[in-house]
Amino acid sequence: MHKDWQEIVPLLADVILEAPNEKFPFKLKNYLYAREWESAKRIKIPQWWETKQGMVDKGNEYGLKELDFKQFHQFRAAVRKEAKAHGEVAEFAV
């Protein structure tokens, strides 16, 4: 329908849609045709450093294990140091 559909599909991942009902497929077709997602409410997908699980997953990528540290803040500091050394993130939210 739209020539830029390959760019659009990933943008739909964080759009908040209304609950489906009997008219949902028809509404969805109109929603896509009218490009209503461009002005839709969106959810904020957290960055890996904003959640404990994200930190644990990133630590695993660097070979760091949470259980190797006495406290989580020590593990978090080690993961941040590795990420910074790899140039992944210049600045972290506190």
Same domain membership, residue 10 and residue 33:
yes
Same domain membership, residue 35 and residue 53:
no
Same domain membership, residue 27 and residue 10:
yes
Quick check: 26 pLDDT over 80? no
Same domain membership, residue 79 and residue 62:
yes
Domain that holds residue 32: 5-39
93 falls within a domain:
no
For the stretch 56-65, pLDDT in tens is 999 999 999 9
Rg (CA), the chain: 20
94 falls within a domain:
no
Tell me, what's the pLDDT at 94?
Answer: 46
Average pLDDT, the chain: 77
Q: Which residues of 50-63 are buried (b: 16+ CB within 10 A; e: fewer)?
A: eeeeebbebbeeee
Quick check: 41 pLDDT over 80? no
More confident: 70 or 4: 70
Q: What is the pTM of this model?
A: 0.51
Quick check: 83 pLDDT over 70? yes
Residue 88: pLDDT band with limits 50, 70, 90: confident
- Percentage of the chain modeled with pLDDT above 90: 33
Same domain membership, residue 53 and residue 29:
no
Q: Count structural domains, the chain.
A: 2
90 falls within a domain:
no
